[in-house]
Amino acid sequence: AQELLVVEDLKTYFYTLRGIVKAVDGVSFTLRRGEVLGIAGESGSGKSTLAWSILGLVPPPGRIVGGRIMIDGMDVTSMSEAELRRKVRWKKVSMVFQGAMNVLTPVYTVGRQIEEVLQIHRGVGRHEARQRVYELLESVGLHRSIADRYPHELSGGQKQRVVIAMALALEPDIVIADEPTTALDVVVQAQILNLLKKLAWEKNLSIILITHDLSVIAELAETVMIMYGGKIAEYGPSDAVFTKPQHPYTQALLKAIPKLRGPIDRLAYIPGSPPDLRNPPPGCRFHPRCPKAFDRCSREEPPLFRVGDGHLSACWLNEGGGE
Ligand code: SF4
Ligand code: MG
């Protein structure tokens, strides 16, 4: 199938003592093989929860309560933990977590840690695993001698490359990268982004890139999803979304970030704060902060309207199409 990942009306809620947090609330999209999708939104917009949902790793008290996730034709939402481990994680989808450097164990060499993934999941012998470790390190632009080093002997950028090599160990179709460059300096950030771009191209790898930083998405992603309050506000080809944003939230974000630089969370100047997802505003969730809101917005929730080729916006102003 062309569509490697199909997410249909996904709902992932957290059942907290203080109420139900609707972290992801009716999200649908598809991802093609080799496609790089960037997902942006403020903290609490649901982007990380969406990633955990795809991996079957929603932490308690959260769970998927509605919708479906299909990966390469398999319905992963109906799988047991054991099945997810056997068929999906690492093999189909792997993740480069936020602050991924801390994933590495300090007491083992980098090579041994990657070998372990290969030995556990592939049952390969030590020698074969070592050869594969060298290939993996080289594929992320590291010298094979790095295999004998301990994590503390490596720079931040080298560690992030090791984590990416690990994520690639079992040749997944999709890598989810959650803030993969946040802790790195600007030069190293650019190198890691170029590496991801190269991998997507060379290995026909699909990448879901989650970030606060729209400049990262502009550089890397062909498709962008802007999330607000657990829902998709706008979705489409990066070119279209960045040059002709249709949703007032996207417009505000882009206006607030000249040249797309800087993390979204620093933008206190979109007045107001993100919605409380235990008790979201009725109608359009953005209406209390929206400069263009009108009476209908607080009563009825806008669906995603088609505003261009593959371009969608959840705003009543787009009911008749885009501008
Ligand atoms: Fe603003 Fe209304 Fe559009 Fe929501 S639906 S983004 S409140 S104009
Ligand atoms: Mg996050």
- Whether the CB of 285 sits within 6 Å of ligand 1: no
Q: Per residue, what are the HEC states of 23-50? A: EEEEEEEEEECCCEEEEECCCCCCHHHH
The domain in which residue 120 lies consists of 99-171
> Of 118, 149, 171, which residue sits at a domain end?
171
Distance 293 CA to ligand 1 centre (A): 5
- Whether the CB of 315 sits within 6 Å of ligand 1: yes
How many Å from the N-terminal Cα to the C-terminal Cα in the chain?
33
* Ligand 1, atom 6, residue with closest C-alpha: 315
What CATH number corresponds to the domain at position 14?
A: 3.40.50.300
> Of 114, 139, 171, which residue sits at a domain end?
171
Residue with tokens 């290939």: 135
- Whether the CB of 68 sits within 6 Å of ligand 1: no
> Of 141, 171, 201, which residue sits at a domain end?
171
Let me know whether 148 and 232 are in one domain. Answer: no
* 323 in any annotated domain: no
Who surrounds ion ligand 2 at CB < 5 A?
A: 48
* 76 in any annotated domain: yes
Let me know whether 189 and 242 are in one domain. Answer: yes
What pLDDT score does 73 carry? 93
- Whether the CB of 290 sits within 6 Å of ligand 1: yes
Sequence-separated (6 or more) residues with CB below 8 Å from residue 138: 144
Report which of 55, 22, 23, 84 is spatially closest to residue 208, judged by C-alpha positions: 55
**Atom from ligand 1 closest to the CA of residue 290:** 1
Sequence-separated (6 or more) residues with CB below 8 Å from residue 274: 42, 43, 44, 45, 228, 229
Let me know whether 111 and 199 are in one domain. Answer: no
Tokens of residue 273, six digits: 């704060």
* 10 in any annotated domain: yes
- Whether the CB of 304 sits within 6 Å of ligand 1: no
Distance 260 CA to ligand 1 centre (A): 23
DSSP 232-259: EEEEEEHHHHHHS--SHHHHHHHHHSGG
12 DSSP β-pair partners:
24, 64
Report which of 228, 319, 217, 316 is spatially closest to residue 270, judged by C-alpha positions: 228
Let me know whether 303 and 314 are in one domain. Answer: yes
User: Which ligand neighbours the alpha carbon of 46 most closely?
Assistant: 2
d(CA 175, CA 197): 12
pTM of the model: 0.92
Let me know whether 135 and 67 are in one domain. Answer: no
User: Which ipTM score applies to this complex?
Assistant: 0.94
Let me know whether 177 and 167 are in one domain. Answer: no
Let me know whether 281 and 217 are in one domain. Answer: yes
Tokens of residue 157, six digits: 């950028």
Let me know whether 47 and 188 are in one domain. Answer: yes
Let me know whether 159 and 254 are in one domain. Answer: no
* 62 in any annotated domain: yes
Let me know whether 142 and 287 are in one domain. Answer: no
Please count the structural domains in the chain.
Answer: 2
* Ligand 1, atom 7, residue with closest C-alpha: 287
Let me know whether 126 and 176 are in one domain. Answer: no
What pLDDT score does 321 carry? 84
Sequence-separated (6 or more) residues with CB below 8 Å from residue 145: none
d(CA 205, CA 171): 9
Distance 290 CA to ligand 1 centre (A): 6
Let me know whether 54 and 184 are in one domain. Answer: yes
pLDDT in tens, the chain (323 residues): 478 999 999 999 999 999 999 999 999 999 999 999 999 988 889 999 999 999 999 999 999 999 999 999 999 999 999 999 999 998 999 988 765 556 788 899 999 999 988 988 888 888 999 999 999 999 999 999 999 999 999 998 999 899 999 999 999 999 999 888 777 887 888 888 899 989 988 989 999 999 888 888 888 899 999 999 999 999 999 999 999 999 999 998 887 765 555 555 555 457 777 888 888 999 999 999 999 999 999 999 999 999 999 999 999 999 988 77
* 310 in any annotated domain: yes
